[in-house]
Structure 1
Amino acid sequence: MASPEILNKAAASFAFETSSLEFISNSTNEVFRFTKKDEAYILRITEKSHAYVGKIKAEVDWVNYLVQNGVRASLPIRTIDNQLTALYQEDGKCFIATAFHMASGRFFDKNEPKLWGTSIFKQWGEIMGKMHMLSKSYIPLETKRDEWRNSEIKNPHLQGKYYALLEKLKSLETRIMNLPREGDSYGLIHNDFHPYNFHIDGELITVFDFDDSIYGWFSLDIAIAATHAVWWGAPMDDRQSKNEFTTKFLNEFLEGYFKYNHLSDYWIKQIPFFMDYRNICSFFWWLSSWDGDESKFSDFQRSAIAYAVKLIETGQSFDGCEIVLD
């Protein structure tokens, strides 16, 4: 946790009053809202080693480039000494501060037509297509964002049914590692462009939270969007409805995407596979460091694990992934 002293330093760096700070969340980073001259901003505090500073600089430089070239994204703001990051040391720990304009609007609502549906899906696709197009021309800083790599999960508690999940993850990652990494299909991607990482304001979408950005496959980026659209936006929970929704979503999303970027038929056909991968990855957000105590799982988690194992044992993909794209 960032101490009051760290927050005071951040306020001085970005020239705002600490009294305006409002805590938002604390997961990978500590996130706050603040105001300056009646405008809202986001402050992000990241506790990492000093060696990680370059990675964050690479992230905000990328976002800055996107905004300069017409992508609606939360623009980073500079410190009083014209830097995009500020670095503080305290008790042997390193804290990296970044700040962004707060995106106007609100999150999606699948029950509100203006906040979920064809126009949103197409614009979502347009933004991602433009981002992938710009990825091809972007010249990165000396320190680049990481490349995609396979997971390194060595939890000894993953036995029995949990081992089935791990084996599924490993088998998909083995296939992914053998995929070509070509300029027309691979580049700097958001890697987490889901519905809670953009705001909708009227007919406009603004994307944010680029801290998971990596060099990866454009099809993977699309698949991540589609997977989360199914999780949170499908009208019904049965498998058939989710598959039908996925087909509709991707047809409309890709219509927008193709306005700015082209993918070959081969890479379009990989999207359901990458969706399957994103689904299996979701279990390891909480299984990778699990201590073996099943009582710590929620009813939802127990049910999700049982269903996933059943799908794996019967050779089926996850809901929404059982589609064929032409």
Structure 2
Amino acid sequence: MNTLEFVSHSTNEVYRFSKNNTFYFLRISAKPLAYAEKIHAEMEWVHDLVQHGVNASLPILTKDQQLTAVYEKEGQYYMASVFRMAPGKFFDKGNPHLWGTNIYHAWGETMGQMHRHSKSYKPLLKGRQRDHWSKSEFSNPNLQHGKYRVLLEKLQSLEDQIDSLPREENAYGLIHNDFHPYNFMIDGDTITVFDFDDCIYAWYALDIAIATVHAVWWGSPGEDRKSKNEFARRFLDDFLAGYFKHHPLDFHWIQRIPLFMDYRNICSFFWWLQDWDGDEGKLNDFQRNAITEAVKIISDGRSFDGCEIEM
């Protein structure tokens, strides 16, 4: 373990290390002890996906054959998990080998395999499972005024629509919930997905929408609204061609993908704002400009860039 190297710290601390010429990631989560069950449920599902042929980053068992290890220090609990490093490279918008039809198709295939298996997957312990999708609960008083209230009301409106949707067996199950281009590696025409720590029970169409929104954000050839909408349509054609090889989804759910895309777009603002203290000086130029543009789009009754498509 003398090769241990710090990688990142956002929701979790992540380190990379090598052993016997193989690279691994160590993820450490500082959470209340009760959350250990949620992490174990995540790891159990990912391990099961790999066992069923899905290209995902393999969780490694501890010496006592567990998927997680829990440590306590001064009243704080730490959950440690280890994954085999996925082979390949990250996407590159300017490289046709790392971004284009073949990648979108493989991305869709991988998600289709995951959703197919999700339909039959049962946790080993009934009480040890991931959460179900639910409406956001924001009590931040700084979001109750002006343009921030416009964003909050848009989020609540979309969540009301989503919450009314049926949770059908063929359309709702355990999903990745963050399957974007920085959460998979590309090796030829194969992709390997990782970072399942946002996985929840929700609609399969939401998982597809999340992939599409991020593809538009980071991979559209043009930055104008027309280009993004055209790219979203082309991307989904290729993605769904791969997806449908492994998992059918009724057309009325495909038609709801733009709704879920709009929802993912509005959620992005609350990644910054949910704990915001009301000091606009703490928002950077990009965030301030994005909020201004979003409020204009909402006030005009339009959807976000990329979502103005008919399925």
TM-score normalised to the size of structure 2?
0.98
State the match for 2:192 in structure 1: 206
Query: Match for 2:129 among 111, 132, 144?
Result: 144
The corresponding residue for 1:194 is: 180
- Name the residue aligned to 2:264: 278
Deviations 1:95-114 (A, max 9, x none): 00000000011110010000
> In 2, Cα distance between the equivalents of 1:242 and 1:270?
18
Aligned position for 2:6 = 23
Query: d(CA) in 1 for partners of 2:189 and 2:5?
Result: 28
Residues 102-141 of structure 1: matches in 2 within 5 Å? 102-141=85-124
Letter in 2 for 1:70: G
How far off is 1:93 after superposition? 0.5
What does residue 76 of structure 2 align with?
Answer: 93
Q: Tell me what 1:183 maps to.
A: 169
1:275 alignment partner AA = M
Q: Which moved more, 1:101-110 or 1:136-145?
A: 136-145
| Whole-angstrom distance in 1 between the partners of 2:37 and 2:278 | 36
* Residues in 2 aligned to 1:235 and 1:138: alpha-carbon distance in whole angstroms: 38
Deviation at 1:179, TM superposition (A): 0.6
Which of 188, 194, 201 aligns to 1:215? It is 201
- Aligned partner of residue 106 in structure 2, secondary structure: helix
CA distance in 1, matches of 2:123, 2:205: 21
Aligned partners of 2:33 and 2:279: how far apart in 1? 35
Q: Deviations over 1:3-34 (max 9, x none)?
A: xxxxxxxxxxxxxx2x2110000010000001
What is the rounded CA distance, in whole Å, between the counterparts of 1:204 and 1:123 in structure 2? 6
State the distance in 2 between where 1:229 and 1:209 align: 17
2:278 alignment partner AA: G
Deviation at 1:139, TM superposition (A): 1.1
The partner residue of 1:243 within 221, 225, 229 is 229
| 2:15 maps to 1:59 | no
The number of residue pairs the alignment matches comes to: 308
Q: Deviations over 1:242-263 (max 9, x none)?
A: 0000000000000000000011
The answer to whether structure 1 residue 315 and structure 2 residue 301 are counterparts is yes
State the AA in 2 paired with 1:154.
Answer: S
AA matched with 1:85: T
Q: CA deviation at 1:137?
A: 1.0
Q: CA deviation at 1:203?
A: 1.7
Q: Distance in 1 between matches of 2:216 and 2:277?
A: 30
Amino acid at match of 1:66: L
Give the whole-Å Cα distance in 2 for the aligned partners of 1:86 and 1:67: 20
Q: Which residue of 1 aligns with 2:22?
A: 39
Q: Distance in 1 between matches of 2:217 and 2:78?
A: 34
Asked if residue 84 in structure 1 is aligned to residue 70 in structure 2, the reply is: no
Residue from 68, 92, 95 that aligns with 2:51: 68
What letter is aligned with 1:289? Answer: D
Normalised by the length of structure 1, the TM-score is: 0.94
Moved over 3 A (4+): none
Cα deviation, 1:24-82, whole Å, max 9, x if unaligned, reads: 00010000001111110000000111111111111011001110111000000011111
In the alignment, structure 1 segments of 5+ residues that lack a partner are 1-16
Q: In the TM superposition, what is the alpha-carbon distance from 1:216 to its structure 2 partner? A: 0.3
Is 1:153 aligned with 2:129? no
Which of 261, 285, 289 lines up with 1:299 in the alignment?
Answer: 285
* Alignment pair present for 1:165 and 2:151: yes
Displacement after TM superposition at 1:300 (Å): 0.7
Q: What does the per-residue CA deviation read over 1:214-250, in whole Å, with 9 as the maximum and x for residues that have no partner?
A: 0000000000000000000000100000000000000
Report the counterpart of residue 265 of structure 1 in structure 2. 251
Identity of counterpart residues, as a percentage? Answer: 63
Give, in whole Å, the separation in 2 of the partners of 1:39 and 1:67.
Answer: 18
2:169 aligns to what SS in structure 1?
coil
CA distance in 2, matches of 1:288, 1:243: 28
Between stretches 152-161 and 112-121, larger displacement belongs to 152-161
Shift of 1:141: 3.1
Residue of structure 2 equivalent to 1:8: none
Deviation at 1:155?
Answer: 0.9
